[in-house]
């Protein structure tokens, strides 16, 4: 589900685009784009261009022959969009008179679709309702809390959704793929249905998970009971496959044409009407341990390889990082926290700046230059974020692991040779095991990240200071 901060991010993007149009005195119609500042496209209005709209209340009654990008508290589409629609706000309404010939993308709290979308729908929200008059000519991709497709609604191809609850009462032409906690199948599905309930869904009390922060005014649909229910009126043209920790045969009142396959979360396939054998149950108990071992080994090998490269290529730099943690542990942790927050915030602002400049050039018809700005700008940001992510994900851990390994090695083998190699190996092994501990492992990971990134920043800061030219010393007056 797209969170509120994502909506704020999109809102900022479109407000910047609007400001660019206002600063350069954009008229009602320009060659590169149409910027609407009153939030309304009248029923008799036809715009032969892409449209940017930003207003508390956005209403489109007319025709847009191009892409529509709109942000607002409430967005209502009554007219025709001959292109893709990108909508971000609190509530999005696609009424029964609306027609979108391209794809629909939305991020909001509540979405309601009653009209026709000739492409696919991509959405994230607290809830989505496809009413009885809704028609999606291609596929639906959705993530959120609640998805409801009412009887009469049509999705010609596939439905892919990750939700807490899904109520599918309409017509779906092909296949359904769900990751959910509660599912009710009431409609007509032409192909297969694949549902993953995850482990332990039968223990859920029915209280939905909270996807918002206190104080946010979000309308939450009434939760349905966990598990799978298939009504007698449902029709499944293919196979019903569901993965859960317990069978739901008693609540499946319609028989799929392709039969029913029940799988455990391992998964282990169980034939309809038969009890699980003892061997799969035993496998269920062993598999989590096997997965834990494999994941720990993967992390261990990755850190050992990167640690070896650090010792080989950057031995002196690694030594300075470790020394900085020893010298200033508390400031290192504090700087680590600040650097992580400011680093990602700076990336967001840099992306906004690139977007602003690129759109600015495109608005004044310098399309090729705008494309170059997007390419160079976003490529640079992506490269910087990749390096920053590597330092956070691995570099910081190697600094702390080496420090811990060096201390342990001095205690158990003070006269050891190849100290750097053994310190890294011991430290990485200890850190990997601590990080893999259930419940508390993340604390070790967080601590290593803060101390390591802080030390890297302090060394970088010292390097920058050392490169600054010193002030000339004036001769003393006679």
pLDDT at 207: 44
Nearest C-alpha neighbor of 145 from the set 179, 105, 114? 179
What span, in angstroms and rounded, lies between the C-alpha atoms of 127 and 148?
8
Structure tokens that stand for 247 in this block: 């069978």
What span, in angstroms and rounded, lies between the C-alpha atoms of 280 and 266?
8
The string of DSSP codes covering 389-456 is HHIIIIIHHHHHHHHHHHHHHHHH-TT-SSHHHHHHHHHHHHHHHHHTSTTTHHHHHHHHHHHHHHHH
Our measurement of the distance from residue 43's CA atom to the centroid of its chain's CA atoms, rounded to an integer in Å, reads: 37
DSSP character at residue 252:
B
Tokens 């509120």, residue located: 4
What span, in angstroms and rounded, lies between the C-alpha atoms of 212 and 222?
16
Structure tokens that stand for 279 in this block: 């061997």
pLDDT at 22: 36
pLDDT at 364: 67
Phi–psi pair at 109, nearest 5 degrees: -85, -50
pLDDT at 23: 36
Phi–psi pair at 155, nearest 5 degrees: -120, 110
Beta partners for residue 154, in sequence order: 135, 171
What span, in angstroms and rounded, lies between the C-alpha atoms of 420 and 406?
8
164 neighbors 209 (Cβ within 8 angstroms): yes
pLDDT at 29: 36
Nearest C-alpha neighbor of 179 from the set 141, 216, 214? 141
Tens digits of pLDDT across the chain (478 residues): 434 444 333 333 333 343 344 333 333 333 345 667 788 999 999 999 888 787 889 999 999 999 887 877 899 999 999 999 988 778 999 999 999 999 998 877 899 999 999 999 988 788 999 999 999 999 999 888 899 999 999 999 999 988 889 999 999 999 999 988 999 999 999 999 999 987 654 434 444 444 343 334 556 788 899 999 999 999 999 999 999 888 888 899 999 999 999 988 754 444 444 455 444 444 444 456 566 777 777 888 889 888 888 888 888 999 999 999 999 888 888 889 989 999 888 888 888 888 888 777 776 655 567 677 778 888 888 888 889 999 999 999 999 999 998 998 888 878 877 788 888 988 998 898 888 887 778 888 999 999 999 999 999 988 888 877 665 555 555 4
Show the CA angle centred on residue 237, arms to residues 234 and 242, nearest 5°: 75
Our measurement of the distance from residue 385's CA atom to the centroid of its chain's CA atoms, rounded to an integer in Å, reads: 16
DSSP character at residue 266:
S
Nearest C-alpha neighbor of 423 from the set 324, 333, 315? 315
Q: Establish how many alpha carbons lie within 13 A of residue 450's alpha carbon, considering only the half-sphere containing its beta carbon.
A: 15
Nearest C-alpha neighbor of 99 from the set 135, 132, 71? 135
Structure tokens that stand for 66 in this block: 């191009």
What span, in angstroms and rounded, lies between the C-alpha atoms of 348 and 381?
9
23: buried, middle or exposed (CB in 10 Å: 19+, 13-18, 0-12)? exposed
Our measurement of the distance from residue 208's CA atom to the centroid of its chain's CA atoms, rounded to an integer in Å, reads: 20
Non-local (6+) Cβ contacts of 333 within 8 A are 447, 450, 451, 454
Q: Is the omega angle on the peptide bond into residue 473 within 30 degrees of 0, that is, cis? A: no
How do residues 117-137 score in pLDDT, each as one tens digit? 999 998 878 899 999 999 999
Q: What is the length of the chain?
A: 478
Non-local (6+) Cβ contacts of 252 within 8 A are 228, 229, 230, 240, 260
294: buried, middle or exposed (CB in 10 Å: 19+, 13-18, 0-12)? exposed
């Amino acid at each position: 589900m797209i969170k509120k901060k994502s909506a704020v991010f999109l809102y900022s993007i479109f407000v910047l685009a609007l400001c660019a149009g206002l600063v350069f005195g954009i008229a009602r119609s320009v060659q590169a784009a149409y910027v609407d500042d009153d939030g309304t496209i009248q029923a008799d209005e036809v715009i032969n261009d892409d449209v940017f709209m930003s207003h508390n209340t956005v209403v489109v009654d007319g025709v847009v022959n191009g892409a529509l990008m709109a942000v607002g508290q409430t967005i209502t589409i009554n007219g025709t969009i001959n292109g893709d629609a990108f909508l971000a706000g609190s509530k999005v309404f696609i009424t029964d008179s609306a027609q979108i010939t391209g794809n629909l993308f939305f991020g909001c709290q509540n979405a309601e679709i009653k009209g026709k979308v000739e492409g696919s729908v991509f959405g994230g929200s607290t809830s989505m309702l496809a009413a009885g008059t809704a028609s999606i000519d291609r596929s639906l991709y959705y993530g959120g809390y609640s998805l409801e497709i009412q009887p009469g609604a049509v999705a010609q191809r596939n439905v892919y959704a990750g939700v807490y609850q899904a109520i599918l009462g309409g017509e779906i032409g092909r296949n359904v793929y769900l990751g959910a906690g509660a599912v009710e199948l009431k409609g007509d599905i032409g192909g297969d249905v694949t549902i993953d309930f995850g482990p332990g869904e039968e223990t859920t009390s029915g209280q939905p998970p909270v996807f918002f922060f206190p104080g946010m005014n979000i309308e939450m649909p009434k939760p349905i009971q966990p598990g799978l229910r298939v009504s007698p009126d449902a029709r499944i043209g293919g196979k019903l496959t569901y993965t859960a920790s317990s069978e739901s045969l008693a609540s499946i009142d319609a028989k799929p044409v392709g039969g029913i396959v029940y799988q455990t979360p391992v998964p282990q396939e169980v034939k309809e009407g038969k009890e699980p054998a003892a061997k799969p149950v035993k496998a269920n108990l062993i598999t989590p341990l096997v997965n834990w071992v494999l994941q720990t080994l993967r992390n261990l090998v990755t850190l050992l390889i990167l640690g070896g490269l650090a010792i080989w290529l950057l031995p002196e730099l690694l030594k300075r990082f470790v020394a900085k943690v020893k010298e200033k542990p508390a400031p290192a942790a504090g700087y680590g926290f600040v650097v992580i927050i400011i680093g990602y915030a700076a990336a967001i602002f840099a992306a906004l700046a690139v977007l602003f400049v690129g759109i600015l050039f495109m608005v004044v018809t310098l399309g090729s230059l705008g494309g170059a700005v997007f390419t160079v700008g976003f490529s640079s940001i992506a490269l910087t974020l990749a390096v920053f992510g590597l330092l956070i994900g691995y570099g910081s851990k190697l600094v702390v692991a080496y420090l811990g390994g060096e201390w342990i090695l001095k205690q158990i083998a003070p006269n050891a040779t190849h100290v750097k190699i053994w310190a890294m190996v011991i430290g990485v092994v200890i850190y990997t095991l601590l990080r893999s501990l259930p419940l508390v492992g993340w604390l070790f990971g967080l601590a290593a990240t803060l101390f390591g990134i802080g030390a890297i920043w302090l060394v970088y800061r010292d390097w920058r200071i050392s490169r600054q030219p010193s002030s000339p010393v004036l001769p003393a007056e006679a």
